[in-house]
A and B are shown apart, each in its own frame.
Chain A
Amino acid sequence: MGMTIAEKIIARAAGVPQVKAGDIHTVNLDRMMTNDGTTHLTVDMYHNKLKNPRIADPKKMVFIVDHNVPSDSAKTAASQKKMRDFAREHGIDFWEGKGVCHQIMMEHYVCPGELIFGADSHTCTYGALGAFGTGVGCTDLLYGMVTGTSWVLVPETVRFYLTGELKEGVYPRDLMLSVIGEIGASGVSYQVMEFCGPGARTLSVNDRMVLCNLAVEAGAKTALFEADQIALDWLEARGRKPKAVFRSDEDAVYVREYTFDLGEIRPVAAKPDFVDDVVPVEEVCGVRIDEAFLGSCNNGRIDDLRVGAAIVKGRKIADHVRFLVVPASQEVYLQALEEGLIDTFMRSGAIVMNPNCSVCWGSCQGVIGENEVLISTGTRNFKGRAGHPSSRVYLGSAATVAASAVKGEICTAGML
């Protein structure tokens, strides 16, 4: 029986010739990533709960401070110090303030064919390079760090066949929000989203990251693209080589298949408080906003900053709006500086900030107050996600966010 990309990665990591959905296997993990959202708890458990504390292979571990950086309080500083000290003591790669964890992982570590656990739900981003990344909690992360292994239930795979090409002014984020709106917040629960078809080949690695990153918002265990020439060229340019290049067999088993014509996708927004409450942007036009956010592991890359900068160039941000621009990494930030994008943003009145998770996770910078409204390129719009429980978050593309920041209310770029 044929296997999907996900099944082939798990089979390789389990050291067996064949796996099928529903099997439970012990796997060797290729990499583990953990950030300041939970690592202080992992370190405490390492010291206080383990009978035989050890690290199977420090070279497989990556610690990244990105959620509350620079720290906002003495308690945060203490939690981050615990993480920093542990990484240094054990020879673990440690990053701080250099970017959002998934962006750092993509820029410096992820290789096609790898099985990666990350103590962050958006670890599914790595499927853009044909790697199986999945989010876990800090106990799973600790077990993996100690033993180098874990257990996985082999998930079913759902095929997303993409045709056509996105039209001018429509972005991968509009596509993925549309997909989630269609299948729902638990539409692919416990399953893998495999993106394929001629439409997939029109998407760059950065575009693919946007799609894979949000897969968890539909309940997926991960999302995957085949590591095709586009992915391999991207990898080679960064001096890395694939672990293994897999493609799904002709007779691989898919539990369901969806087809999306990229040419049919239109600019959309997700309304508060659910990522799957997706409507055409026109339906929410006119909603007055207090803050706009361009950034995050989903949409803070150079492509997104270019889109936003082109819209605000020569214009001013509305007086009553705080417009936060947060490049996803220092690499992105430096590129944006070189291209003059940062200059454009600052002249428009935007607040350009250091790479971090920012208001996307509601506990760093730009937290919003009672009844305030945010339009965001972040990952989630749950109740209170960006601050006060009564505040509201709309999700949209970089173009929609930048245009709304100028107008002071939700609008499309075409309406400026």
Chain B
Amino acid sequence: MSVGKIFKFHNDLDTDQIIASQYLLLPTIDEMKVHTFESLDPEFPHKVKPGDYVVGGDNFGCGSSREQAPGVLKALGIQAVVARSFARIFYRNAINIGLPVIVCRELPDQVETGDEMELSMTEGTVRAGGKVYSCTKLPPYMQQILNQGGLIASLNEEEV
């Protein structure tokens, strides 16, 4: 992946903060994405650029199973989400829609919003501030779903 800017968030960041309930029934993800992280920073959708990264603390993406949460991040061009740990439904949803997610224990405490980083999913490393941080690689089964572009792409591939 390429170098991108970091947007960092707190521990136990819940999916209501990523995309609030009142926008979930809008017809498309594209109509929802302009409300991403609205409760925390209404300017986020304007500041973020394709190729940027989201960095979270513990239990990132807890709460609601709304797939719109990883959906809006992907639609805004976020390259990957790196966190100290993830809530399971968000983690699984992200892989299913082809948004890379990876656990990195040390990185979150060492970086701030605005810093730059570069992730390699295959090596399981993040480079930031002249240091290299190691991540917990995805189990091969999940990495393969991600490599194929998500669960539906992998299903379509099986049905040649």
| Contact surface of A with B, Cβ cutoff 8 Å | 24, 36-38, 40-41, 44-45, 49-52, 67-68, 75-76, 78-80, 119-121, 135-140, 142-143, 146-147, 151, 153, 185-186, 189-190, 216-217, 219, 221, 274, 361-363, 367, 380, 382-385, 389
Contact = CB atoms under 8 A, between A and B. Distances in A.
Interface in B43-66: 58-59, 62-66
Contact of B16 (A41, A78, A153, A380): A380
B25 to A, nearest CB: 5
Given A143-B151, A186-B12, A389 B39 contact: yes
Contacts of A219: 59, 62, 87-88
Given A52-B159, A75-B26, A120-B65, A382 B16 contact: yes
Interface stretch (B89-97, B109-117, B118-126, B127-135): B89-97
B4 interface: no
A385 B70 CA distance: 18
Given A189-B88, A380-B63, A362 B12 contact: no
A112 B16 CA distance: 32
Contacts of B148: none
Contacts of B75: none
Contacts of B36: none
B62 A186 contact: yes
B85 interface: yes
A68 B12 contact: no
Contacts of A146: 155
A40 B16 contact: no
Contacts of B89: 121, 135-137, 216
Given A76-B25, A380-B14, 4 more contacts: A50-B156, A52-B159, A135-B89, A143-B96
B34 interface: no
Given A36-B25, A221-B88, A385-B16, A143 B66 contact: no
Given A361-B21, A380-B63, A49 B87 contact: no
B141 A151 contact: yes
Contacts of A362: 16, 20-22
A187 B112 CA distance: 26
A83 B11 CA distance: 35
Overall SS of chain A's interface: loop
B137 to A, nearest CB: 15
B152 A189 contact: no
Contacts, number: 140
A189 B141 CA distance: 20
Nearest to A78: B27
Interface residues of B, number: 42
B97 to A, nearest CB: 6
Contacts of A45: 152
Contacts of A185: 12, 59, 62
A189 B96 contact: no
A363 B20 CA distance: 9
A186 B88 CA distance: 10
Given A45-B152, A52-B159, A363 B92 contact: no
B152 A143 contact: yes
Nearest to A187: B59
B17 interface: yes
A168 to B, nearest CB: 33
B25 A147 contact: no
A135 B71 CA distance: 17
A217 B15 CA distance: 12
B92 to A, nearest CB: 7
Contact of A189 (B14, B20, B87): B87
B16 A189 contact: no
Given A185-B62, A383-B17, A139 B97 contact: yes
Contacts of B151: 139-140, 143
A363 B24 contact: yes
B100 interface: no
Nearest to B160: A51
Contacts of A40: 25, 27
The 9 closest A-B pairs by CB, nearest first: A137-B67, A137-B93, A363-B21, A389-B39, A186-B59, A139-B96, A121-B65, A135-B65, A51-B156
Contact of B92 (A140, A147, A189, A217): A140
Given A143-B151, A186-B87, A137 B159 contact: no
A383 B17 CA distance: 7
Contacts of A138: 67
B26 to A, nearest CB: 6
Given A151-B141, A382-B17, A139 B12 contact: no
B68 interface: yes
B68 to A, nearest CB: 7
Contacts of B152: 45, 49-50, 139, 142-143
B93 A24 contact: no
A189 B59 CA distance: 8
A75 B16 contact: no
A138 B141 CA distance: 20
Given A38-B66, A41-B68, A190 B25 contact: no
Residue among B38, B88, B150 with most chain A CB within 10 A: B88
